[in-house]
Amino acid sequence: MTDSSNTTITHFAIIQRAKQDSLEYMPAMPTRDSAMDWESYIQRLEDLDAYEIAHESAEWDWVIYYHRALELCQNVPSAVLHEAESEVYDNGGIDHLQGYGCNRSSDNFGLYEMAALIANQIVVTAIREAVEECRDELLELANDKLEQIEQS
């Protein structure tokens, strides 16, 4: 986990951290210039599930600590915040947290808990987009390399 306790949360910082996290999930590039190795690498890239990766790696300190989640929500563009809020409601809002003791009539769900849900959605989206972008760039590079090998 990245130590970001002294980092000021900005939208740019979220995007950069998401890109850094996405790199951890990319398969290692082939060390040999064989078509079989590059085809295998392309398959591993295509098999990456950006949505699953994003959900697995979104437990940032910026999300799990209420004061940081609130800071995150305050420091992203309004469009990003509104999109994340819509996604949270589309995915069931607080209703999917009932097993954790939260429900609409509960006294233990308020501003901070909502900020954590929205911050999590913002981070999940940022990581998913970063994984997809990195994967697409590596696929383009790998396909170019495979084409180059096949032509020689």
What range defines the domain where residue 123 resides? 11-151
The model carries a pTM of 0.86
Q: Is residue 5 part of a domain?
A: no
Q: How many separate domains does the chain show? A: 1
Please tell me the distance from the alpha carbon of residue 28 to that of residue 46, in angstroms, as a whole number.
Answer: 14
pLDDT in tens, the chain (152 residues): 455 667 889 999 999 999 999 999 999 999 998 999 999 999 999 999 999 999 999 989 998 888 999 999 999 999 999 999 998 888 776 665 554 445 555 556 678 888 988 999 999 999 999 999 999 999 999 999 999 989 88
Q: In this structure, is residue 1 part of a structural domain? A: no
Q: Is residue 2 part of a domain?
A: no
Is residue 4 included in any domain, yes or no? no
